Amino acid sequence: MIQNILKVYLFLGLVALLAACSPGKETAKRPDVKPPVARKVPFELVAKHGHKRIDDYYWLKEREDSSVINYLTAENKYLDTMTAHTKALREKLYTEMKSRIKEKDESVPYKDGEYYYYTRFEEGYDYAIYCRKKGSLEAAEEIIANGNELGKNQKYFNLFIEHSPKHDLVALCIDTIGRRFYTIKVKNMTTGQMLPGKIGNTTGNLAWANDNQTIYFSKQDPTSLRSNQVHRHTLGTKANDKLIYEEKDQTLSCYVNNTKSHKYILVNSGRTDASFSQFLDADNIDSKLTMIEPLQNDIEYRVDHAGDKFYIRTNLTAKNYRLVETPVTKPGKENWKDIIPHRENIFLRGFELFKNYLAAEDESEGLTKIRLIKWSDKSESTIDFGEPAYVAGIDNNPELNTTLIRYNYQSMTTPPSTYDYNMETREKKLLKQREVLGGFNASNYQTERVMATARDGAKIPLSIVYRKDKFKKDATNPCLEYAYGSYGSSTYATFSSNRLSLLDRGFVYAIAHVRGGQEMGGQWHADGKMMKKKNTFNDFIDCSEYLIANKYSAKDKLFAYGGSAGGLLMGAITNMRPELYKGIIAGVPFVDVISTMMDETIPLTTFEWREWGNPNIQEQYEYMLSYSPYDQVERKNYPNLLVTTGLHDSQVQYWEPAKWVAKLRDMKTDDNVLLLYTNMDAGHGGSSGRFRAIKDEARRQAFMLDLVGIKE
């Protein structure tokens, strides 16, 4: 849930280029201004097993209270004052990052039925224009939705689309707040007009039935934001939408999707450790839900369909997952037959069905290979990749009857690239590599993949990148270390043009593939959650010490960044080893673990108990309490900190970072800078639009550059 979450780039260093402003210089003298002080209002919190805590800043949860808004505004003003001397640097970084973007650009079209769908951007505009062409790429362009027109004058804007089976209608899902409540509107592509009416307060998740008139969509509880209902809406009717399914299990969230064959609509329920699916006949809106396999703790599965069978990726008796097939008429697990059996050292990350081929994403030590299996004779071929650290995966492939598979590839030195691979001839074709303007040359940069040894002997992968002529392995470079490490969500060695601003100034950038993710297989996640969560924090710290010991980073110039659940990681290491880091950036950080897990009315609670623990169970409560960043703040020195949040965040509520900063201000004994930035117009993902988001990135980079004395 906390997913999706936020990717970072960054880093600095010393170099001949910076003769006049070497990293050894003192940082600028900051204004002698006192920070905001949040008032203390003791509030007693009592667990079901009797343990009591006093929270002095519980009052910050009152979003509508003017004193809360006044406090957040005061913190923003304090940040502006304390970083005023970096304004020129921030503007330079923003201009630099923006200049690398090819402003007039478009995606690679993908074929779906008779149409080729794509998005394009116009120069100077933030949002995508959704387009299509019928029959061929030479046909006239049809504009489905112009994000710049729909998002005009909106402080926040997010849009995605889903076309109907006949392609004549398109559902537009729009959020203008950032809290992930989407309004669905339907456009008639024949007339170019919006149909009357709209569906409000949805999750934005939907699936079309084959009658071309019916939409299945999910809705969330307005308080907890748990996606708990699936409804059916028929266009042109005034009757109330029909409730198809309600997920009453408080630990589960539900959503819908079409199978690739478009024969079935799946209603899926899940949490971080378990899931199950039911299906409807997409040709019959009156069909009843049929269970595939009921919920079972610690068992997950994902379903697709082709022919007369369901194909299911599952971890049932398979920690690294396996692929099974089962008849549609007998979908239960007693009929599951292995197509790809479980393998001890290879993680099955995903699969894609084609008429004549099965494509599988096999992952080993965090690196992916795409394996192609021919249905007729079971012969195999593999799409392999040559760099030491990269990310590759199956891309958008909506058609079953094709010999082409589309995949994507990138590395820390290679911009995102889109390929078509002919499964018959085994020839690949580069369709597009994202153009990076401003003189980018991949050969100027070097990527490495190393293994750090954790304190318990586990080998933790580290993906590292730096600019060759700015890096010396002599313990003088500044370094930024990033990680996430939760929900089994793997962090990959991706490319970032924004990150170049740090690398070009001498920074080393490292991704720590810590336990809690799934880079090293299913056990990697299991070893970094629940009662083993501290492995995630220890892994990150041990990787930090590796970077220093092996001279990738200067001892006094190591920075750390993480967002959302990765922000929890930042909070934990801030308490555990504050002296190890020059500065820490915590983005939308999940830091008030106990209070959030105890409050069943807000997000990140009941359906995440199997990730973090159930605070109603004393043993799990005490373990979470022992690392919860907010609860573990002490009277001691802390590193320089930049903490960011969004007022409308639906995943990690703004009050978690706000309370944490208020408590740190009261307790810390150092003179290091502590800054809180609240985006008053955004949610979990930060600013919307490709240019607004760059300003957030420029702020983060300037924070670090300033601390090591780099002024330009």
Catalytic residues: 564, 649, 684
Amino acid at residue number 492: Y
Give ∠ CA 69-157-83 in degrees, rounded to 5: 50
Tokens of 370: 């795409």
- Ordered DSSP codes for 46-58: E-TTS-EEEETTG
Residue with tokens 């990680």: 483
CA gap 589, 47 in Å, rounded: 23
d(CA 204, CA 175) in angstroms, rounded, equals 9
d(CA 317, CA 711): 56
Q: Provide the CA 544 distance to its chain's centre, in angstroms.
A: 23
Sort residue 440 into left (φ over 0), alpha (ψ -120 to 50) or beta.
Answer: beta
- Token pair recorded at residue 305: 């369909």
Q: From the CB of residue 140, how many other CB atoms can be counted at a distance below 10 Å?
A: 7
Contacts of 88 (CB under 8 A, 6+ apart): none
Q: Which residues contact 64 (CB under 8 A, 6 or more apart)?
A: none
The DSSP result for 507-551, as a single string, is: -EEEEE--BTBSTT-HHHHHTTSGGGTHHHHHHHHHHHHHHHHTT
Residue 389 sits at the vertex; the CA angle it makes with 686 and 8, to the nearest 5 degrees, is: 15
* The two three-digit tokens of residue 516, written as one number: 């809690």
Secondary structure letter of residue 167 according to DSSP: S
Q: Which three-class secondary structure state does DSSP give residue 44?
A: strand
CA distance 152 to 207: 28
Q: Half-sphere exposure of 267 toward its Cβ, with a 13 Å CA cutoff?
A: 29
d(CA 528, CA 611): 9
Query: Which amino acid is located at 4 in the chain?
Result: N
- CA-nearest of 170, 174, 181, 179 to 157 is 174
Both tokens assigned to 129 = 């224009």
Max CA distance (Å), the chain: 75
CA–CA separation, 344 and 318 (whole Å)? 9
